[in-house]
Amino acid sequence: MTKPASRLRLLITLSLVGVLFTIGVILVGAWTRLVDAGLGCPDWPGCYGRLVVPDADRALSHSPDVPLESFKAWIEMIHRYVASTLGLLVIALVLLGMPLRRRAGYPWGVSLALLAVILLQGAFGAFTVTLKLWPQVVTLHLLGGLSVMLMFLWLHLRLRRFASVEAPASPRRALTPLWGLAMVLLLLQLALGGWVSSNYAGIACQGFPTCNGQWWPATDWSEGFHLTQTVGPNYLHGQLHADARTAIHFGHRLGALALGLGLLLLAWRHWHERRLRPWLGALLGAYAVQLGVGVANVLLWLPLWLALLHTAGAVALVVLMALAVWVWREPVAHGERRQRAEKEWAHA
């Protein structure tokens, strides 16, 4: 029987592995989308009815209307394999945590919520293929991946706090409206980024800071943000006309501006807090880098490596925002009890 302390250390390690592994899955998913491999396999969960990519003859007999492109099919299946491994990791965390679930302060609810979200994310992965890259599903799939990563991170932080505090934690500070505004602006910008990607609007605005040579370009907002698009057409390379894609891209630029102002306001309000200052500085730095990468993507016509770096920047913003929120909410003085608590766990 594994001792509680050993089990807890394993859970802490696995939750951190989950954070890092999810980041890898998100980047593999972005790579899959950027090389147009999202429909490399026309069915789900297999590929042309197989668990591994078949040869051309077997693929032709399964789906005569969808010729096999081995490179794209393998990219899509690699994405599915790593995502499935992530699901197994979540199940392991739930099973390992069951003996500790009745202990006060153990984040059992977070573990179950993570399991629910990973199952939902798997469903969105299936819908991405079966609905042929319908932009709504693709965008939700991206947000779902970020949600899984965020929940792994939150579980890791909660497990560490559970291991280091021998008594119920002191009351934590509630989030203020300013924190709420910053988080909502980040969420909206992430959703806009997913909408840009899923509608292939990454270079709909040419040039910077102007868009297609204008400060306020010709746009079709109603079509660009029409969320009840027809289900059924193949959305590979998009279905929207130029002005609709311009509206999406331009909206993403406006969202970036709003997010930057929100983060600056948040930093200005809390810069006096010494323990929070490094996280706010990192958050502003990550935003500045992300802004620069976004501009470079436009000017350089969306090279693959730079587009992947832009996705990584979105991940960094989510992680840093979560850590900043965690530091803000945590009581200032509970670390002094850590050594005594760890000794108690070691002898449990």
- Helices marked H in the chain — which ranges? 4-34, 56-62, 70-97, 108-130, 135-164, 177-198, 221-224, 242-270, 277-299, 304-329, 338-346
Bridge partners (DSSP) of residue 47 are 50
Cβ–Cβ under 8 Å, residues 174 and 147: no
C-alpha–C-alpha distance, residues 244 and 322, integer Å: 33
Instruction: List C-alpha distances in Å: 291 to 107, 187, 205, 259.
Output: 36, 16, 15, 11
**How many CA atoms within 13 Å lie on the side-chain side of 157?**
15
Cβ–Cβ under 8 Å, residues 247 and 221: yes
C-alpha–C-alpha distance, residues 328 and 179, integer Å: 10
Write down the catalytic residue from 76, 273, 336, 344.
76
166 included as an active-site residue? no
User: Torsions phi, psi of 302, nearest 5?
Assistant: 60, 60
Q: Where do the DSSP E strands lie in 14-156?
A: none
Q: Give catalytic residues, as residue numbers.
A: 76
